[in-house]
Amino acid sequence: MPASIVPPAKPTPITITLSAVGDCTLGAGIENGFDLAPFDLMMIKHANEPSYPFSGVLDLFRADDITIVNLEGTLTTATEPIAAGKFHFRGKPEYARILKESSVEVANVANNHAGDFGVPGQIDTRKALLDAGVGVSGNGLIDRRIIRGVEVVNVGFTGVRMTPAHVKTDIGTAKKPNNVVIASFHWGMEGTHEVIDIQREFGRLAIDAGADVVLGHHPHVVQALEIYQGKHIVHSLGNFVFGANTNPKKLESMVYRATFILEEGRIKPGPHKVFPVRLCAQLPCTEFRPVLMEGQAKQDFLTWFAGENEKLAKRPYPTVRR
């Protein structure tokens, strides 16, 4: 009799875990008029320990494969702000180590404060991040990295770069069946939980172009999570380590955790989880150190968030203007 033919074993699925948080300003607005901004004073108080601001969530970040933040501002020694804008955010270039020592792998710079100090500020910020070992993505900058054999790509959009053509091209060019593409968008209205039509339009456009998850920020408060084609559009992650505001309107925010599974040569979405956080103990915020919520506060946030998600899911989708 012929020897039995044993079929080859299927490859073991590979899981990639992402953590994402929203707006982070490692410094303050120069309009505040401080010789040393509150964020600087906090760092001095804690012996300039770079991991301190994220220490309340450090275990979460260390347990994942990739963490991405929205870096809302610059890391530069430039002193001449651009004319446009009411506030101009700046931190010390050495603060890039805060991200590195906090297990943050990628900083998105597609936002309305990345250019607060013009081209010199943008160059300084990118150099500071890359020198510290932190990837940079957004507005044409693409971060690519290999995690356990899986390519993970970060792209980001805002302003003149947030057009259907750019979104389709940047995401479509990056996407492969066996890689993960993370798309960040700086969009929406500040200070409101309401998701506006352009967010839904571009979020779905990004998924259709190949994004595996869409991460939103700019409103400074948490907004609903939408499921489209089985993938997540997180409309706003809210504030996080935000040194530019000692009196935020909302102290509640979150860490978004997602998993992606490579199986039989294709990426599919895995389980996700939301970790509620409180930005500081009380107002005014002088300790820019988010901590995980516990007990009733945690449950109240999750109940509210589920309600926001349900309301958005029931809302009619706007007329597409692509």
Indicate if the pLDDT at residue 320 is higher than 90. no
Per-residue pLDDT tens for 150-209? 999 999 999 999 999 999 999 999 999 999 999 999 999 999 999 999 999 999 999 999
- CA 163/CA 184 separation, integer angstroms: 13
Q: Give 188's DSSP letter.
A: S
Indicate if the pLDDT at residue 4 is higher than 80. no
Q: Give 160's DSSP letter.
A: G
- 240, 71 in Cβ contact below 8 A? no
Indicate if the pLDDT at residue 73 is higher than 80. yes
pLDDT of 187 reads: 98
Mean pLDDT of all residues in 42-69: 98
Indicate if the pLDDT at residue 30 is higher than 90. no
pLDDT of 85 reads: 84
Per-residue pLDDT tens for 86-111? 899 999 999 999 999 999 999 999 99
Per-residue pLDDT tens for 269-307? 999 999 999 999 999 999 999 999 999 999 999 999 999
- CA 239/CA 123 separation, integer angstroms: 24
> Does residue 36 or residue 191 have the better pLDDT?
191
Per-residue pLDDT tens for 7-27? 666 778 999 999 999 999 999
pLDDT of 188 reads: 97
pLDDT of 318 reads: 80
Domain ranges of the chain: 14-314
- Taking only Cα atoms into account, the Rg of the chain, rounded to an integer number of angstroms, comes to 20
At residue 241, the 3 state secondary structure works out as: strand
- 73, 109 in Cβ contact below 8 A? no
Indicate if the pLDDT at residue 83 is higher than 70. yes
Q: Give 179's DSSP letter.
A: S
Residue 52 dihedral angles phi and psi, to the nearest 5°: -60, -50
- CA 49/CA 66 separation, integer angstroms: 22
**What's the farthest any 2 CA atoms get from each other in the chain?**
88
Indicate if the pLDDT at residue 257 is higher than 80. yes
- 258, 227 in Cβ contact below 8 A? no
Tokens at residue 239, please?
A: 């504030």
Q: Which CATH class is domain 14-314?
A: alpha beta
Q: What pTM value is reported for the model? A: 0.94
- 298, 278 in Cβ contact below 8 A? no
- CA 72/CA 111 separation, integer angstroms: 7
